[in-house]
């Protein structure tokens, strides 16, 4: 398969490479992701049991409490943060979390073109996807 190039809006500049972890559902970090393990713990969530550490986390948008920003920061402090975040539409909570945690983030991306375990490189507003 051919490499896919997508363009998005930069929320937090930076470069990261990792395997995609894609959710069709929004993610709420407060109570949804354990900051001490990096595991998605929200009941009924499609990614429940998956770990976000080092992955390029792809999801439509964020949800939930503003404390979710601090949860992203705690993940980063614990070495368990995603390598990058890609959203269809950024939520302020996730955006602030990515900024304070120094996690490269872009939005306004067609996330349907990215699948779990694709190799993804985020470099500022460019997303390169190498399908599996």
Active site residues: 65
Cα–Cα distance, 78 to 97 (Å, whole number): 14
Q: Which residues does residue 33 pair with via DSSP β-bridges, in sequence order? A: 40
């Amino acid at each position: 398969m051919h490499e896919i190039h997508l363009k998005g809006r930069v929320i937090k500049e930076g470069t990261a490479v990792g395997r995609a972890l894609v959710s069709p559902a929004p993610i709420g970090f407060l109570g949804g992701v354990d900051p001490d393990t990096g595991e998605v713990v929200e009941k009924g969530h499609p990614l429940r049991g998956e770990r976000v550490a080092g992955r390029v986390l792809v999801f439509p948008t964020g949800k939930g409490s503003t404390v979710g920003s601090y949860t992203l920061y705690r993940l980063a402090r614990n070495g368990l943060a995603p390598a990058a975040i890609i959203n269809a539409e950024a939520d302020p909570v996730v955006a602030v979390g990515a900024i304070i945690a120094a996690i490269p983030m872009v939005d306004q991306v067609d996330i349907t073109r990215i699948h779990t375990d694709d190799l993804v490189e985020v470099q500022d507003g460019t997303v390169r996807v190498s399908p599996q």
